[in-house]
Structure 1
Amino acid sequence: MKTEQPKASIDFNCDLGEGCGDDAAILPLVSSANIACGGHAGDEATMRATLRLCRQFGVAAGAHPSFEDREHFGRRIMPMGTDVIARMVHAQLALLAAIAAEEGMHLSHVKPHGALYNVAADDRAVADAIAATVAAFDPSLVLFGLSGSALPAAGEAHGLRVAHEVFAERGYDHRGRLLPRGTPGAVIESLDDAIAQVHRLATRGEVVADDGFVVAVRADTLCLHGDRGDAATFAQAVRSALEADGVAILPVGTDA
């Protein structure tokens, strides 16, 4: 049996700028924000507003590129070649980076959104296309990807710093992959259950899958989805739970 040994620190990130949550209430509670940059949600005004909130609260700002599918919030797989995916990611990243520069800010990381994120977890060609695009655009950016999946592996292969990501309120299968949305257990609705999962991730480096299998994970950054109606309440509870476990909440690459 593992002995509980809390991590010294963890990044706490949230997907924001999507026009469906209380970003101003969430941002003081997290250390990194993944900002929608026009694919599944967001426009120049929301990007600028979210960047300014990040600056106000000292939160690391990152790009959250996705399939260009606003109708389905980027959560539908759109078959396309890796060259098209690379151009799509570059366009969204470049747009947010340009707005950040106008605001006197620099982006810290990139995290694909939704279906693009999940495809990149298992499809190494897609993961390589994303990682190569990020590395060519700005090699100082950190690439966020599902813990233990193809995306962080591709990021390392392309010389990027990577952050293995885990989730506060998403269910897992026995491979350490997220359960598809719409299936039983895919979204953890109970705050108590989510906090129990956060505690296990932060103190044991593991998560319990839907079949009861215990999956070991590397937890560099912990995600909470900002589009849920109770995201601010969840964010406060997650932050309090991490602090109670003695885990410092810091952006990736910051020493505790």
Structure 2
Amino acid sequence: MRTIDINCDVGEGVGNEKELFPMISSCNIACGGHAGSKETIRWCLELAKEFNVKVGAHPSYPDKENFGRVSMSISDADLIKSIQAQMQLFESVRSKLNTPLHHIKPHGALYNDIAKNEQLSQAFLKSIEAFKDEVYLYVPFNSVVEKVAKKNGYKVLIEAFADRNYNNDLNLVSRKEDNAIISNEEEVLKHVLRMAKDNVVKTIKNEDIAMNADTYCIHGDTPSALQILMYITEHLPEYNLQVKP
């Protein structure tokens, strides 16, 4: 039985963490940029400890109004300052609970932008340089930030999205499109199986494109997130896969 990592973005105001954590193996905790506070960070860290879930920080563009899902025109210096402030907030809570930090995963538009923009990637990596030797960075497959991070000695894990559709260029389908999100649990399972067992992703043009992944994201704010996790947790073992040993 092979174990795969399923991660969830949490602490974003949905309030479903207590139900999600028993079925995931790593989490990305919002730390004040797009959502999150000391209270929600602490709540998620305590759940992570209770359910043996690997802890990640989930910094974002400083844009609560748009939930961090809109690209920002921001200077490198201001981005670095914001990300470092978010990480300081996160660390101020985490250090008191003595919970290990496993990874950092940028959120939303920032995640998508550094996947394509080298200068922005450099700025983001500089902002988390203090964590370079201790933690992983979750990045998209074959992205600009993956290449820049590896070149600069960062440890990376490749992330794929279990509940999102892909274009042929392996960019995610825009959330402005009706088919951006996969909400049907059976379709999510098929999506994960293709990626985990066949190392391909089926795009919206019905083509199989090669892609490797180390971790698979199900967004905590997807309305059917709980149903998806319950379904795939039940059925993955039929394919010799499991989320937690």
**Which range, TM-score by smaller chain?**
over 0.9
**Equivalent of 2:176 in 182, 190, 209:** 182
The one-letter code sitting in structure 2 at the alignment partner of 1:100 is: R
Counterpart of 1:112 in structure 2 is 106
The answer to whether the 8 Å contact 1:201/1:207 transfers is: yes
Counterpart of 1:205 in structure 2 is 199
The answer to whether the 8 Å contact 2:23/2:243 transfers is: no
TM-score, normalized by length of structure 2? 0.94
How many angstroms does 1:164 deviate by? 0.6
- Spell out, residue by residue over 1:115-137, the C-alpha distance to the aligned partner (whole angstroms, 9 max, x if none): 00010111111122222322334
How many angstroms does 1:9 deviate by? 3.4
Counterpart of 1:139 in structure 2 is 133
CA distance in 2, matches of 1:155, 1:239: 32
CA distance in 1, matches of 2:119, 2:242: 35
Matching of residue 29 in structure 1 with residue 23 in structure 2: yes
CA distance in 2, matches of 1:16, 1:46: 9
The answer to whether the 8 Å contact 1:21/1:231 transfers is: no
- Spell out, residue by residue over 1:73-125, the C-alpha distance to the aligned partner (whole angstroms, 9 max, x if none): 11111111222222221111121122100111121100000100010111111
The one-letter code sitting in structure 1 at the alignment partner of 2:18 is: A
Counterpart of 1:121 in structure 2 is 115
Which consecutive residues of structure 1, in runs of 5 or more, have no partner in the other structure? 1-5, 251-255
The answer to whether the 8 Å contact 1:97/1:107 transfers is: no
How many angstroms does 1:235 deviate by? 1.3
TM-score, normalized by length of structure 1? 0.90
Which consecutive residues of structure 2, in runs of 5 or more, have no partner in the other structure? none
How many angstroms does 1:240 deviate by? 2.8
The answer to whether the 8 Å contact 2:139/2:159 transfers is: yes
Percent identical pairs in the alignment equals 33
CA distance in 1, matches of 2:91, 2:166: 32
How many angstroms does 1:248 deviate by? 4.2
What are the within-5 Å matches in structure 2 for residues 1-256 of structure 1?
8-249=2-243
Instruction: List structure 1 runs of 4+ shifted beyond 6 angstroms.
Output: none
CA distance in 2, matches of 1:168, 1:200: 10
The answer to whether the 8 Å contact 2:114/2:145 transfers is: yes
How many angstroms does 1:165 deviate by? 0.5
The answer to whether the 8 Å contact 2:6/2:216 transfers is: yes
CA distance in 1, matches of 2:209, 2:81: 35
Report the count of equivalent residues: 245
CA distance in 1, matches of 2:206, 2:224: 27
Secondary structure of 2:4's aligned partner: strand
CA distance in 2, matches of 1:128, 1:205: 29
Secondary structure of 1:189's aligned partner: coil
CA distance in 1, matches of 2:3, 2:211: 15
CA distance in 1, matches of 2:15, 2:235: 22
The one-letter code sitting in structure 1 at the alignment partner of 2:51 is: F
- Spell out, residue by residue over 1:196-217, the C-alpha distance to the aligned partner (whole angstroms, 9 max, x if none): 1111111101111111222111
